[in-house]
Amino acid sequence: MKPNRRKFLSKAVAYSGFAAGVPLNSAKLRKASDPTSHDPNGASAYSEREDQTNELGAQPTRADRKFVDVHVHITQPWNERGELTARNLLRWMDVHDIGQAWVLPLISPEAWYYPITTEFVLEETRPFRDRLIPFCVVDPRTDVFGGFKHFVDLLGRYKNAGARGFGEHKWGGAIDDPRNIELLKACGETGLPVLFHLDNDRNKDVPGLPGLERLLKAAPETTLIGHGPGWWASICGAATQRDLGGYPRGQVAKNGALDRLLGDYPNLYADLSAGSGHNAIRRDLDFGREFMIRNADKIMFGTDYLADKQAVNQFELFDELKLPVDVQQKIFRDNAHAIIDDE
């Protein structure tokens, strides 16, 4: 560890109120040579050892697991909502044959019940970095002290501390707001792929997604990964403003914004997570299947898992779709590895 990284992390933890009271990592990683670390029934192997700490650290990753999940969260106890710890997330990943997951903080006021800070995500994933890939996030309204340069400096600090991407970006402004464009250009400059949520309240746009296209033109060096109701409603050529805030049903009209933008912009990708990703494919299975085959290099498996025992419809959907094996491999994990190579 470089001294500047250590310094940054200790500072980060000190000012992260939500990290307070959470035990910091003090445990050893399990050795890769442990024969049980390649046990396909990792979940049961884990539960037998629940009393030991952090033995999940060297579980199998890309070689023998089916999925990379590009969209999960760890959470803290909040009113009646329970927490989702890194350990419970890993146990769930084992059950579903997920080798790695991108763990996304949420800090904008419009994003979640409370801030899930970058510092918290960096700290909690630290013992499990071979499987849990931490992201960072910054709100565009942070730009009061220096614009692009300030953002590059801030993002560089998070990158040095271990962040591999940016998101879940879920701020309550327009997707092509000049502050947002500055921030996301800085992500490209820093080498952090951006996962954003688009609907009628966050990263706002209108049918056809012209605001997103302005961002794509302004930030060609930034990898952008779309998610959320507004993004996924735009699979349909007849999407309305109301659709961009919901879960529209029924047949999909051709020539949607997603086919066009995914085809035209090499830096644009799609995250299939959550009810919105599931609904977009489920509403018209024939169209959805063909959409995934023609955009096979651009679409990634994700769930948005964030609570113990949360129902996830994506697994059943993929069983039903029976995509060609090469398409499955790209969507299930290879595209994610192409964006974030962990080797």
List residues binding Zn ion (CB under 5 A). 168, 304
**Choice between 30 and 197, CB closer to Zn ion:** 197
Q: Which is nearer to Zn ion, 45 or 336 (CB)?
A: 336
Q: What is the CA radius of gyration of the chain?
A: 19
In the chain, the N- to C-terminal Cα span, in Å, equals 17
Nearer to Zn ion, 130 or 304 (CB): 304
Nearer to Zn ion, 269 or 287 (CB): 269
Q: Toward Zn ion, which CB reaches closer, 139 or 168?
A: 168
The distance of closest approach from Cβ of residue 253 to Zn ion in the complex, given in angstroms and rounded to an integer, is: 27
Containing 280, the helix (H) or strand (E) segment is helix 274-282
Q: Which residue is listed with tokens 């024939």?
A: 286
CB of 246 to Zn ion, least distance (A): 17
Can you spell out the DSSP letters for 235-259? TSTT--TTGGGS---SPPPSS-HHH
Query: If you ran DSSP here, which 8-state letter would residue 2 be given?
Result: -
Minimum distance from residue 93 beta carbon to Zn ion (Å) = 16
Q: How far is the CB of 153 from Zn ion (least distance, A)?
A: 27
Backbone φ and ψ for 227, nearest 5 degrees, come out as -160, 160
Distance of CA 42 to the CA centre of its chain: 23
Q: 123 or 304, CB closer to Zn ion?
A: 304
Q: Report the residue closest to Zn ion, judged by CB.
A: 304
**Dihedral of the CA atoms 239, 240, 242, 248 (nearest 10)?**
-30
222 or 276, CB closer to Zn ion?
276
**DSSP 8-state symbol, 25:** P
Q: In whole angstroms, how close is the CB of 247 to Zn ion at the nearest point?
A: 15
Residue whose entry in the numeric block shows the structure tokens 């942070």: 142
Minimum Å gap between C-beta 20 and Zn ion is 24
b vs e for 205-226, b when ≥16 Cβ sit within 10 Å of the residue's Cβ? Answer: bebbbebbbebbeebeebbbbb
Distance (Å) of CA 138 to CA 69, 74, 107, 156, 304? 22, 17, 7, 12, 19
Q: How far is the CB of 302 from Zn ion (least distance, A)?
A: 9
